Amino acid sequence: MLSNITIGQYFPGQSFIHKMDPRAKILATMIFIVAIFLAETVASYAVIAGFTIVTLAVSRLPWRLVWASIKPLWIIIVFTMGIHVFTTPGTVLWQYGWLHISEEGVRMGSMMAARLVFLIVFSSLLTYTTSPIRLTDGIEHLLAPFKRFGVPAHELAMMMTIALRFIPTLLEETDRIMKAQESRGADFTTGSIVKRAKHMIPLLVPLFISAFRRADELAVAMEARCYRGGENRTRMKELVITGYDYIGMACIIGVTLLLIVMRWFV
Amino acid sequence: MGKRDTKQRNISHRGKKEVGCREEQKISYQEEKQTNYQEEASNTKPIQTIKNSDSSCEYKIDKEVMIDVSHMSHVYTDEMGNPVHALKDVDVTIYKGEFVAIIGTNGSGKSTLAKHFNVLLMPSEGTVKVLGMDTQDPAHIWDIRQHVGMVFQNPDNQIVAAVVEEDVAFGPENLGIEPSEIRRRVDEALKAVNMSQYALHAPHLLSGGQKQRIAIAGVLAMKPDCIILDEPTAMLDPRGRKEVLDTVRRLNKEEGITVVYITHFMEEAAVADRIVVMKNGVKLQEGTPRQIFEQVDTLKQLGLDVPVAAEVASELIKRGHALPKGIITNEELGDVLCR
Amino acid sequence: MSIVLDNISYVYGAHTPYEKKALDGVTLEIHEGEFLGIIGHTGSGKSTLVQHLNGLLHPASGKVTVNDVDLADKTEEARNMRHTVGMVFQYPEHQLFEETIAKDIAFGPRNLGLSGEEVDERVREAMKFVGLDYDTYAERSPFHLSGGQMRRVAIAGVVALNPSYLILDEPSAGLDPFGREEIFDEIIRLHKEKGITVALVSHNMEDISRMATRLIVLDGGHVILDDEPLTIFMHHREELQKAGVDVPPVSVLMETLKHRGLPVSTEVRNVDDAVMAIEKALKEQEVHHAE
Record: contact A236-B183, CB cut-off 8 A:
yes
* Residue B193 and residue B232 in contact, taking contact as beta carbons nearer than 8 Å: no
Mutation target among A226, A235, A240 for the B interface, most CBs of B within 10 A: A226
In angstroms, the CA A92 to CA A109 distance is 14
B21 & B153 share domain:
no
| Whole-number average pLDDT of chain B | 83
User: What are the chain B neighbours of A131 within 8 Å (beta carbons)?
Assistant: 162-163, 166
Q: How far is CA C272 from CA A186, C65, C210, C279, in A?
A: 45, 40, 11, 11
What is residue C266's predicted lDDT score, i.e. its pLDDT?
A: 86
Q: Which of A132, A172, A234 sits opposite B173 (nearest CB)?
A: A234
In angstroms, the CA A247 to CA A259 distance is 18
User: What are the chain C neighbours of B331 within 8 Å (beta carbons)?
Assistant: 256
Sheet containing strand C61-66, edge to edge, reads C20-31, C2-12, C61-66, C69-70
Q: Taking 50 as the threshold, does the pLDDT of residue B165 lie above it?
A: yes
In angstroms, the CA B201 to CA B207 distance is 12
What is residue C169's predicted lDDT score, i.e. its pLDDT?
A: 93
B116 & B160 share domain:
yes
Tell me how many domains chain B contains.
Answer: 2
B31 & B80 share domain:
no
Q: How far is CA A25 from CA A131, A215, B83, C5, in A?
A: 12, 30, 55, 52
Strand extents, DSSP E, C40-103: 61-66, 69-70, 85-88
The answer as to whether B326 is a domain residue is: no
Q: Which pLDDT band, with edges at 50, 70 and 90, does B136 fall under? A: very high
Record: contact B203-A218, CB cut-off 8 A:
no
B190 & B88 share domain:
yes
The answer as to whether B272 is a domain residue is: yes
User: What are the chain A neighbours of C97 within 8 Å (beta carbons)?
Assistant: 201-202, 205-206, 209
Query: What are the b/e assignments for A154-191, b being 16+ CB within 10 Å?
Result: beebbebbbebbbbbbbbebbebbbbbbbbbbbeeeee
Cβ neighbours for C8, distance < 8 A, ≥ 6 positions apart = C23, C25, C26, C27, C52, C59, C61, C62, C63, C64
The answer as to whether B59 is a domain residue is: yes
Record: contact C157-A201, CB cut-off 8 A:
no
Over residues B146-162, the mean pLDDT reads 93
pLDDT per position as a tens digit, B50-108: 333 333 333 344 578 999 999 999 999 887 788 999 999 999 999 999 999 999 988 89
In angstroms, the CA C45 to CA B190 distance is 29
In angstroms, the CA C232 to CA C227 distance is 6
- Residues spanned by the domain of B92: 6-14+68-286
In angstroms, the CA C220 to CA C218 distance is 7
CA–CA–CA angle B171, B265, B236 (5° rounding)? 55
* Residue B232 and residue B156 in contact, taking contact as beta carbons nearer than 8 Å: no
* Residue C70 and residue C63 in contact, taking contact as beta carbons nearer than 8 Å: yes
Q: What DSSP designation does A146 have?
A: G
What is residue A8's predicted lDDT score, i.e. its pLDDT?
A: 53
Q: B208-220 and B179-192 helices cross at what angle (nearest 10)? A: 140
Q: Taking 60 as the threshold, does the pLDDT of residue B31 lie above it?
A: no
Record: contact B235-C176, CB cut-off 8 A:
no
The answer as to whether B316 is a domain residue is: no
B259 & B127 share domain:
yes
Residue B130: its H or E element: strand B125-130
CB-based contact (8 Å) between A179 and chain C? yes
CA–CA–CA angle C81, C151, B211 (5° rounding)? 100
User: What are the chain C neighbours of B307 within 8 Å (beta carbons)?
Assistant: 249
- From first to last of its 266 residues, chain A has per-residue pLDDT tens of 444 444 457 788 889 999 999 999 999 999 999 999 888 888 899 999 999 999 999 999 888 888 888 888 888 899 988 888 888 888 788 888 778 888 888 888 898 899 999 999 988 889 889 877 788 888 888 988 888 888 888 888 888 888 878 988 999 999 999 999 999 988 887 778 888 888 899 999 999 999 999 999 999 999 999 998 888 888 888 888 899 999 999 999 999 999 999 888 87
Record: contact A176-C89, CB cut-off 8 A:
yes
User: What are the chain B neighbours of A173 within 8 Å (beta carbons)?
Assistant: none
Q: Which pLDDT band, with edges at 50, 70 and 90, does B22 fall under? A: very low
The answer as to whether B132 is a domain residue is: yes
Over residues C98-107, the mean pLDDT reads 95
B95 & B243 share domain:
yes
What is the least distance, in Å, from the CA of A57 to any CA of chain B? 22
Q: ipTM for the complex?
A: 0.88
Which residue on chain C is closest to A208 by alpha carbon?
C97
Q: Which pLDDT band, with edges at 50, 70 and 90, does B18 fall under? A: very low
B167 & B277 share domain:
yes
CB-based contact (8 Å) between A226 and chain B? yes
What is the least distance, in Å, from the CA of A31 to any CA of chain B? 27
In angstroms, the CA B67 to CA B90 distance is 13
CB-based contact (8 Å) between C86 and chain A? yes
Sheet containing strand B49-51, edge to edge, reads B17-19, B59-61, B49-51
CB-based contact (8 Å) between B318 and chain C? no
Which residue on chain B is closest to A171 by alpha carbon?
B204
Interface of C with B in 186-245 (CB under 8 A): 203, 244-245
What is the least distance, in Å, from the CA of B302 to any CA of chain A? 28
Which residue on chain C is closest to B209 by alpha carbon?
C42
Of residues C243, C248, C249, C252, the one with CA closest to residue C42: C243
What is the least distance, in Å, from the CA of C153 to any CA of chain A? 13
Q: Which amino acid does the sequence have at A66?
A: V
Record: contact A184-C157, CB cut-off 8 A:
yes
In angstroms, the CA A89 to CA A81 distance is 14
Q: Which of A131, A220, A236 sits opposite B179 (nearest CB)?
A: A236
Record: contact B338-C41, CB cut-off 8 A:
no
Mutation target among A9, A64, A175, A184 for the C interface, most CBs of C within 10 A: A184
Q: Indicate whether this model's pTM tops 0.90.
A: no
Burial class (CB in 10 A: 0-12, 13-18, 19+), C239: middle
Domain CATH for B230: 3.40.50.300
User: What are the chain B neighbours of A232 within 8 Å (beta carbons)?
Assistant: 1-2, 176
Q: What DSSP designation does C141 have?
A: -
The answer as to whether B239 is a domain residue is: yes
What is the least distance, in Å, from the CA of B105 to any CA of chain C? 6
Q: Taking 70 as the threshold, does the pLDDT of residue B6 lie above it?
A: no
Strand extents, DSSP E, C141-276: 165-169, 197-201, 214-219, 222-227
CB-based contact (8 Å) between B301 and chain C? no
Q: Which pLDDT band, with edges at 50, 70 and 90, does B33 fall under? A: very low
Record: contact A133-B163, CB cut-off 8 A:
yes
Q: Taking 80 as the threshold, does the pLDDT of residue C139 lie above it?
A: yes
Which residue on chain A is closest to C104 by alpha carbon?
A202
Determine how β-strand B59-61 pairs with β-strand B17-19. Answer: antiparallel
User: What are the chain C neighbours of B315 within 8 Å (beta carbons)?
Assistant: 271-272, 275
Q: Taking 50 as the threshold, does the pLDDT of residue C229 lie above it?
A: yes
Q: Taking 60 as the threshold, does the pLDDT of residue B243 lie above it?
A: yes
Q: Taking 50 as the threshold, does the pLDDT of residue B48 lie above it?
A: no
pLDDT per position as a tens digit, C62-82: 999 999 999 999 898 998 899
B135 & B183 share domain:
yes
The answer as to whether B295 is a domain residue is: no
B59 & B81 share domain:
no
What is the least distance, in Å, from the CA of B98 to any CA of chain C? 25
User: What are the chain B neighbours of C146 within 8 Å (beta carbons)?
Assistant: 106-107
* Residue C104 and residue C142 in contact, taking contact as beta carbons nearer than 8 Å: yes
User: What are the chain B neighbours of A132 within 8 Å (beta carbons)?
Assistant: 161-163
B54 & B10 share domain:
no
Over residues C271-277, the mean pLDDT reads 92
The answer as to whether B334 is a domain residue is: no
